[in-house]
Amino acid sequence: MQDPAELFRVVNTADIDPRTVRTPVMWLATGGLVDAGEVERHAVDHLLNTLESRVVAEFDVDALLDYRARRPPLTFQRDRYVSVDSPHLTAHRVTDPEGQHFLLVTGPEPDYQWERFTAALLELARQFGVRRLVSANGVPMQVPHTRPTGLTAYASDARLIADHASVFGTMQVPGHLDGLAHLRFGEAGFETVGFAIHVPGYLADRALLDGTVAALHAVSEATGIVVPMEDLEERAELNRREIDTLVESNPEALEVVRTMEQQFDEFMSQQQRRSLTPHDVAKLPSPDEIASDLEKWLASGATMEDAPNEQSVGEEEPGDQPDTGGPEEPAGEGGEGGSLSVEPAGEATAPEEDFGGPGAPGDGSQDDPEEGPEPPARGGSTSLWT
């Protein structure tokens, strides 16, 4: 492997002394395999639009990206080309209202050199004194938008997510950079925590700001990062009302949602847990069945518009996500560019193919890291800056 340190250059850090200024969290947000409800994208937008930040590292996209797979737009004006919108993979040093610093890595998921890029992230983490890697994205699930947003948590050490129950054993899913980074960081002795936010499959292609709110709250609880939420929560309320109006205007969609509500409430009445997955284990498919269906769907080259609806829940991942490399215009209050995809409801049945993981969460635990600080006894509100 070529030197990972050559994949990035540190910038704008003349006044930063890692020995005295703590940056204990790296938040990885490079999209890739799936981000239902645009959860990760809007989380990045909110962080960079509301918190103080500066770029402190730039990665070599020429070595990491396939330009023919995602061609950067060129602007032609009258008789010449005048600009190109080149992609960026960057690390931002973000400061929350409490003066706590963390790294936010944004941009498109690399096409090449995953191991080297992950090693570069490790090198950057060591330079800035990072202790914990975090991430959060949306996954399509058979859940109604009218119920509290659930999540699946995963971590390098189960004690970091002790408040979050898991019903998953061992499974295989297509590789993705986020999952590889969690694996390699855990092996290197870092703490890692991730959250897969449950997004209704019929809203997978729309902005679901309730999912972004849930993601930011989960990461804040796991790290101590303070994120102003009032504006986002107000926009999420408007977003929810627009979705309600859209569903209520379609009798078939309304029937599907009502059926899902009944299923959801029946599961939740049996046992209330922190994770809101419909978790009747006896009725869940085997991990091999989930992985097989997931791989077949991805191999088909389908988009989220082709994903099965809530009557045959096999919602898996779309292709690569848009570049989340910097602040963008705030989300509209209701799923721009998306669609509501449902079919008439039939008899209420148990979920058949819920994909509740972030990509490859396994059972949410690994062996204790050989290096690094002792994790807290329970996941949650302990700040890494104290």
Residues ≥6 apart with Cβ < 8 Å to 357: 139, 152, 154, 168, 171, 173, 196
Decide if 363 is inside a domain. Answer: no
Closest CA to 157 of 363, 381, 385, 384: 363
Decide if 78 is inside a domain. Answer: no
Decide if 232 is inside a domain. Answer: yes
The answer on pLDDT for 28 being more than 60 is yes
- The tally of CA atoms less than 13 A away on the side-chain side of residue 343 is 10
For residue 384, the 8-state DSSP code is T
Residues ≥6 apart with Cβ < 8 Å to 337: 205, 206
Per-residue pLDDT at 20: 76
The answer on pLDDT for 80 being more than 80 is yes
The confidence band for 171, taking pLDDT boundaries of 50, 70 and 90, is confident
Q: Which domain holds residue 256?
A: 4-10+22-70+83-306
The confidence band for 266, taking pLDDT boundaries of 50, 70 and 90, is confident
How are strands ordered across the β-sheet holding 52-59? 8-10, 52-59, 90-95, 101-106, 25-29, 132-141, 191-200, 151-155
Decide if 48 is inside a domain. Answer: yes
The confidence band for 200, taking pLDDT boundaries of 50, 70 and 90, is very high
Decide if 133 is inside a domain. Answer: yes
Q: With the CA atoms of 283, 287, 289 and 291 taken in that order, what torsion angle do they form, in degrees rounded to the nearest 10?
A: 140
Q: Mean of the per-residue pLDDT values for the chain?
A: 79
Structure pTM? 0.73
pLDDT digits (tens, 9 = 90+) for 131-151: 999 999 999 988 999 999 999
Based on the structure, what is the number of domains in the chain? 1
Within the chain, how many helices (H) and strands (E) appear?
8, 10
Amino acid at 193: V
CATH of the domain at 244: 3.40.50.10900
Decide if 345 is inside a domain. Answer: no
pLDDT digits (tens, 9 = 90+) for 223-244: 999 999 999 999 999 999 999 9
Decide if 289 is inside a domain. Answer: yes
- The least confident of 75-79, 126-130, 167-171, 312-316 is 312-316
3-state secondary structure of 154: strand
% of the chain exceeding 90 in pLDDT? 56
Decide if 95 is inside a domain. Answer: yes
The answer on pLDDT for 274 being more than 60 is no
